[in-house]
Amino acid sequence: MFAENLNKIIRNKKTLVCVGLDTDIEKLPAFLHSEFDPLFAFNRAIIEATHEYVAAFKLNLAFYESLGVPGWELLEKTLRLIPRGVLVIADAKRGDIENTGRKYAETFFDTYNFDAITVTPYMGMDSVTPFLEYEDKGVFILCLTSNPGSTDFQFLKTEDEPLYARVAQKIVGWNYLYGNCGLVVGGTHTHEIEEIREIAPDLPFLVPGVGAQGGNLEQVIKSATDARGMSALINSSRTILYASSERDFADVARERARQLRDQINLLISIHKNPGLMEQN
């Protein structure tokens, strides 16, 4: 099962950190622009500097697709850099009717061999099924997002409970059938994450919103991880990628990733399982 594979990585590497490779040419250190392929040089440096401290890399497809053919080539080259033993997530947020969904699934799971993907459930189960049919792959389904606009729809009451809770309940049901579901839950909604964790006690959570978006790390660890302090990936993108705009950017990114790993592990030892990160 996907959840077991994820937790195996977490145990082996003793980390819940996920680094988002949201690589933006406008944010790169200026000296890299003299490189033949500055975006690839940046990704390579970040991956080499941080992979020791991360359980997953998450590639936001918008930053690659927006570049056209060179962006897809950058995606391929970047994927080849990521070492084994690290989960690779396509942050694609796909979701469409079954035939189209099947092609999306083939793209990211067959052609590019991602380990997991983010999808949107708005069109219902048949739009998610093509991804779920890849039993060895993870499907992180949007449940409660970290952006301010999440309140437009996700908090609407349906039969006296918010829509995000209904979504979580549905996904738990889908997981009984397929066994590879996860939830995307925004780190800016810590009270609601606790509620969602009660609905889905064993599902993996992908948690954006900690760092630049202001999510409280301690509350996220208490609410988003399972009873053992596992089954969650805490994503950080800008806070790690662009911590420095100088020639030391990779070293600073490495230190930020290490600090985040250590902060998370300390909070797990306080609030969940004191011995987890020492176990093999």
Position 280 pLDDT exceeds 60: no
- Quote the pLDDT of residue 159: 84
**Pick from 180, 181, 151: nearest CA to 164:** 151
Q: Which of 215, 225, 240 is nearest to 277 (CA)?
A: 225
278, pLDDT greater than 90: no
What the chain holds in terms of domains, given with CATH numbers, is 2-278 (3.20.20.70)
pLDDT in tens, 184-229: 999 888 889 999 999 999 999 999 978 655 668 999 999 999 999 9
Report pLDDT for 214: 63
pTM for this model (two decimals): 0.95
* pLDDT tens, residue by residue, 37-59: 999 999 999 999 999 999 999 99
Please provide residue 140's backbone torsions phi and psi, each rounded to the nearest 5 degrees.
-85, 115
Active-site residue, selected from the candidate residues 93, 103, 157, 222: 93
Mark whether 93 is an active-site residue.
yes
> Which residue shows structure tokens 């939830």?
183
Write out pLDDT tens, residues 145-196. Answer: 877 788 777 788 888 899 999 999 999 999 999 999 999 999 888 889 999 9
Query: pLDDT (tens digit, 9 = 90+) per residue, 58-115?
Result: 999 999 999 999 999 999 999 999 999 999 999 999 999 889 999 999 999 999 999 9
Residue 122 structure tokens? 């708005």
Amino acid at 241: L
